Amino acid sequence: MTVLHLADGREAADLVAFLSRLLHYDRGAAVRLQASGTALAVFGRPPSFEVLAVRAVRLAKPYEDGLEATLDVTVSAGELLESVDEAAATAAVPGAVTGPPWAGVLPPRKGWQAAEPGLPAPEALRALVAAAVAEFKTRTGELAPESRTRTELDRIGREIWSRTVARTDLPVRAVHAAQSLGFLRAPAAAGPPAGTAGGSGEPVLLASGSWLRLRTPYGSIALRRAGTGGGLGLSVR
C-alpha cells in the first residue's frame, strides 16, 4: 500500500479537517489526488456549491520505499480520512474508485493571473457570506406554508448565491464554499501554513481563460465564469 508522509502533524490535521467538511456535504464523497515530488493536491466537489475545492498538502517525501514518482488517483474521501494518522503524519492511499464525472476533468494547471478588479478584504468577504445566509433565512422564513416548496427555496438560493462579489465575476457561492470548507478563516498567530497556496495570507482572485480561482492560504475554489458553458464546464485532463 502506498503511504504518504505528510510534512508534519499540522498538515495532517488540516487534511483531516478538509476531508471531514467534504463528507459533511456528501457522505459518499470521492477525492482526486495528484502528487509530484513533495506537493499533493486534493480535489473535491461539495455538491451544494457547484465548485471544485482544492487543498494543497505538503509532503515530507513522496512515497514510502521510493515508489512511483507521481500519483494521480481518485479515491474514497471517507477511506482516505480513516487512513490519516495525525500523530505519525502519514496517510495510506486507498484503492482507486470509479470517480464521479468531475473527477475525470480538472481546471488548468497553468496560466493563472491576478484578476482585476481584486477582492475585498477577508473581513468583508466573511461579512458578505453572513449577510447572504441571513437574507436566505429571512426570505424563506417569510414564505407561506403552501409556498415553501423545494422549487421556491432553490429559486431564492440561486438568486442570492449567483450574485457576484463587488465588481468581479466571482459568484457569492464560491466565497460561501471557501468559508464553509475552512479556507476563509483568519490566519493563526503563527501565520498561514508554510508552502500552501496564497502565502500572502490574503485571498486572491485569479483567472485563466474562462476559469476563476479564489485562492487562500488554506485552499482554493475553482469554477467557470457564468455564461461559458454552464456548470463546471471542465476540460478533460
**Which residue among 52, 73, 106 closes a domain?**
106
Position 60, amino acid: A
pLDDT score of 198: 42
Is residue 124 located within the same domain as residue 227?
Answer: yes
Is residue 28 located within the same domain as residue 13?
Answer: yes
**Which residue among 87, 106, 125 closes a domain?**
106
Strands (E), the chain: 3-6, 30-36, 39-44, 52-61, 70-76, 90-92, 105-106, 113-114, 204-208, 211-216, 219-224, 235-236
Q: Packing angle between helix 172-180 and helix 150-161, nearest 10 degrees?
A: 100
Closest CA relative to residue 45, chosen from 30, 27, 55, 24: 30
> Which residues lie below 8 Å from residue 3, measured CB to CB, with a gap of 6+?
63, 64, 90, 91, 92, 93
User: What are the cell numbers at 95?
Assistant: 484503492
How far, rounded to the nearest angstrom, does the alpha carbon of residue 118 sit from its chain's CA centroid? 20
**Which residue among 66, 82, 106 closes a domain?**
106
pTM: 0.85
pLDDT score of 2: 86
Q: How many Å apart are CA 55 and CA 111, to the nearest integer?
A: 19
Is residue 31 located within the same domain as residue 128?
Answer: no
pLDDT score of 186: 72
Is residue 219 located within the same domain as residue 139?
Answer: yes
pLDDT score of 64: 61
- CATH number for 33: 3.10.150
pLDDT score of 59: 93
Instruction: Label residues 95-116 b or e (16+ Cβ within 10 Å = b).
Output: eebebeebbeebbeeeebeebe
Domain total in the chain: 2
pLDDT score of 153: 95
Is residue 153 located within the same domain as residue 64?
Answer: no
Domain that holds residue 91: 3-106
Is residue 119 located within the same domain as residue 211?
Answer: yes
Is residue 72 located within the same domain as residue 117?
Answer: no
pLDDT score of 15: 97
Give mean pLDDT in consecutive 10-residue pieces for the chain, a chain of 237 residues.
91 96 95 91 92 95 64 95 97 91 86 92 94 96 94 95 94 96 73 47 91 94 74 39
